[in-house]
Amino acid sequence: MDFKTVFALMSSNYYAIPDYQRDYSWTDAQTSTLFEDITALLKEEEQGPHFLGAIVTTPYESDSGTDKAFSPSEYSIDTTSIKHVVDGQQRLTTLAILIKALLDAKNDDLDSTSQAKLKFVFNQAEGCLFGGDLAESGMPAPKLILNGNSGRFLASRVLEIRDDECSGKYTGARRMQKAYANFKNEIESLRDECVGPDSQFENVASFYKSLVSVVMSKLNLVEIECNTSANAFQVFDSLNGKGLDLTAADRIKNLFLSWCPKNKSGSQKWNSMASEVGEDDLVRFFSCLLYYKSRKRVSKRRMPDEFKIRYKDTAIADFDFFYKQMKSAAVIYGKLKNRKTGNKTVDSELLLDLADIKQEQAYVMLMAAPMAYGQDVFERKDYVEYVKTLINLVVRMQVCQKSTNKLDTIFADCLVKMADEQAIQVITERIRQRTLEIADDKQFEAAFTRLTFKDTRTASYYLRKLENAMRKEDGNRDPVSRSGAGSSLLTVEHVIPQTLESLEDWYGVGVSIPKEIEDQFNEQIVQSIGNMALIYQDDNSAAGNKSYEEKLSVYKTGSSNGNVGTPYATFAAIKELVDDYPTVFTHKEVDARSAKLAEYAVQIW
C-alpha cells in the first residue's frame, strides 16, 4: 500500500468498473469542494500533498465486466493491465473529468507556441486519460472504462475519443456533464483571479503549468490491491464503515450477473428487478427475502453468502426460473414499500402505521404472506386482519420494551407454518397468541402508563389511535386522520411545555416537587404520553409555553385565527383533559392521565 500521485496512479494502468457498481453520482457540492482544495494548493494556502482517500482494486474479471461500454479487444488491450475498481470509481471518474476540463481550458487559452513549451506537463495529464493502445481508427484507448451509457458518454462526449451512441438524459451522464461544465467555469474564474500584473501569475501559460502540476503531483491517493473480490469487499467495508449496505447489495448483484448466461441480458434483468424495489431499499429487500427463505435473520455481512447458498444451484440450472422468482419477490416488496398493494386499508393506513412506529422487521412477514399464498392475498380481508395483528404484536413489544430478538422466534415459527401450507387465518391466530404470551394485558397496561416519547411521529401514531378510541366511545364516527395542511395540520401538544426554564414557572414559587421527579422531569413527565394530546397547529402555537390557565383558555376557545373549530369541541382527548383537570396539571395529573389512557390502549392493541 503506497501513496501515489494522480499521475502515478492513473497513468500506470487501465481501470474498469465492475457491473455491480453504481452510476456516477458526484454532486455540485462535491466537485466544488474538490476544486476548492486544488485552489488552496495552487495558492499555497495548503502546502500539500493533499490526500484524496483510498481506492480498492482487484484483478480484472471478465465475468464482472459484461456491461462495459466497449471491449478492451477493440484496442488490443492486454487484460492483465486492467484493474477492477471496487471502491474509488467516483473519485477516478471525477479526476478524469477535471483533467479533461483542464486540458480543454488550456487549449482555449494558449496558442500552439505556448502549448509546445509546456508539452511535457500536458503530456502527463493526457497520460492519465488516454492509454498507448490504439483502435483501428488511430484513437487512443481511455484509461477509465465505465459501464453502459455512462461509459459511452464519458468516452464519446467528455473525452471525445469515440463515436458511440449515448444519451445525456440519464442521471450518470447528466452529472458528468454538469461536473465538466462546473470544472471548466471554476478553472476560468480561477485564471481570471490569478493572472495579471499584480496577481500570482504573470501570464496564462504559467498559470496552467502550475495548475496541471498541482493536479498531477499534489493530489495523492492510496491504492489497495487485493487478489480477490472477497478480500476487496472486506477492505471496502473497513474503510467506509457504512454498515455494508452498499457492498451487500452490490455483491449480490455481482453473483446475479455472474450466474446469468451471456445471451440473457443480465444487467437489464437486474435493473428491471431493482427498479421494482428502488436502489436505496435493495439491502432491506434482500434481508426480507433471505429471512423468508432461511427462517432466520441474516446479517448484512452474511447476505451474499446466504444468497449464494439459497439460489446458486437454481440459477445455474434454470436462470429464467430463478429470475422469475427474484422479479416476483421484488414486485411484492415494491408494492409494500410504495404502498401500492391495491388494498386501500393496507396502503393508506396500516403501512403508514408501521412507518410511524419505525418497525422494518415486520416487513418480513408482510412480504411472506403474498409469497406463500400468492399476490391476490393483498386484496383479502384476512390479510388486513393479519397485518393489524402484526402491528399489535410490534406495539406491545415496543411499549413493554421487549427485545426484538423475540420477533425472530415468532416469525420463524410462522414461516414454518406457511411452508406447511397452513392458512393465513391460522398464522394470524398464532401471532395473536404469542402476543399475549409475551406481553399480556396487565403487563401492557402497566408499561403504557410509563410510556414516553422523544419522536413526535411515533407519538402522533399513539395519540391518533387513542383519540379515535375516545371518539368511538362518545359515538363520534368521524375518526381523526393524518391529513391536514396549514392551520389544520395535526401536531403534538405538550401540556406542560418542553422548554420550561424553571419548574417554578409552571408549579409556582415554593411548591415542593419530589427530588426524583425534579431530576428527570423532562424525560419522565414532559415526554410522557399523559402530557400529550393531538391539536391543530394554530392552536398549538397559541398555547405555546403559556401557563396552564392560559392554555385552558386556548383549548376552550381556540386561537384567534383558527378556522377548524375549538380544540375542546374537536378533540375528545382535549375535552377529557379540560373536564378532568380544570385548574391544575402537574406530574400527579400526568400520571393519572397516563393510567387512564393505558386503559384505552389495552382495548386498541
Residue 592 has pLDDT above 60, yes or no: yes
Domain assignment present for residue 416? The answer is: no
Share of the chain above pLDDT 70, in %: 94
DSSP code of 452? B
Instruction: Say if residues 220 and 49 touch (Cβ distance below 8 Å).
Output: yes
- Residue type for position 279: E
Closest among 77, 88, 105 to 188, alpha carbons compared: 105
Closest among 424, 406, 404 to 415, alpha carbons compared: 424
What string of DSSP letters covers 25-57?
---HHHHHHHHHHHHHHHTTSS-S-EEEEEEEE
**Could you tell me which residues are beta bridge partners of residue 5?**
220
Query: In Å, how far from its chain's centre is CA 38?
Result: 30
Q: How far apart are CA 559 and CA 568, in angstroms?
A: 12
Q: Per-residue pLDDT tens for 225-270?
A: 888 766 666 666 666 654 444 568 888 887 898 888 877 888 889 9
* Single residue among 185, 200, 233 that ends a domain in this structure: 233
Domain assignment present for residue 391? The answer is: no
Domain assignment present for residue 81? The answer is: yes
Instruction: Say if residues 248 and 303 touch (Cβ distance below 8 Å).
Output: yes
Residue 482 has pLDDT above 90, yes or no: no
Domain assignment present for residue 407? The answer is: no
- DSSP, collapsed to helix, strand or coil, labels residue 134 as strand
Give the range among 74-88, 408-422, 478-492, 582-596 with minimum mean pLDDT.
478-492
Closest among 300, 278, 280, 276 to 288, alpha carbons compared: 300
Instruction: Say if residues 470 and 600 touch (Cβ distance below 8 Å).
Output: yes
* Single residue among 215, 233, 251 that ends a domain in this structure: 233
* Single residue among 233, 267, 282 that ends a domain in this structure: 233
The structural domain count of the chain equals: 2
Domain assignment present for residue 598? The answer is: no
Domain assignment present for residue 494? The answer is: yes
Look at residue 242 in the predicted model and tell me its pLDDT. Answer: 46
**Could you tell me which residues are beta bridge partners of residue 58?**
84
Domain assignment present for residue 433? The answer is: no
Q: How far apart are CA 336 and CA 344, in angstroms?
A: 12
Question: Please, what's the b/e burial string for 401-432 (b: 16 or more CB within 10 A of its CB; e: otherwise)?
Answer: ebeeeebbebbbebbebbeeeeebeebbebbb
In degrees, rounded to 5, the angle at the alpha carbon of residue 146 between the alpha carbons of residues 140 and 149 is 105
- Residue type for position 224: I
Q: Per-residue pLDDT tens for 507-557?
A: 887 777 878 777 788 889 999 999 999 999 989 999 999 999 999 999 999
Instruction: Say if residues 398 and 358 touch (Cβ distance below 8 Å).
Output: no
Instruction: Say if residues 441 and 392 touch (Cβ distance below 8 Å).
Output: no
Closest among 392, 435, 396, 391 to 413, alpha carbons compared: 435
**Could you tell me which residues are beta bridge partners of residue 223?**
2, 55
- Mean pLDDT over each residue of the chain, to the nearest integer: 90
First vs last C-alpha separation in the chain: 58
- DSSP, collapsed to helix, strand or coil, labels residue 224 as strand
Instruction: Say if residues 52 and 84 touch (Cβ distance below 8 Å).
Output: no
Q: Per-residue pLDDT tens for 345-371?
A: 999 999 999 999 988 889 999 999 999
Q: Which three cell numbers stand for residue 232?
A: 476487496
Q: Per-residue pLDDT tens for 180-192?
A: 999 999 999 999 9
Q: Per-residue pLDDT tens for 25-67?
A: 999 989 999 999 999 899 885 576 888 988 999 999 887 777 7
Task: From residue 523, give the alpha-carbon distance in Å to each of 95, 256, 492, 527, 528.
Answer: 50, 49, 16, 6, 7
Domain assignment present for residue 112? The answer is: yes
Closest among 373, 374, 367 to 351, alpha carbons compared: 367
Give me the domain span that covers residue 152: 2-233
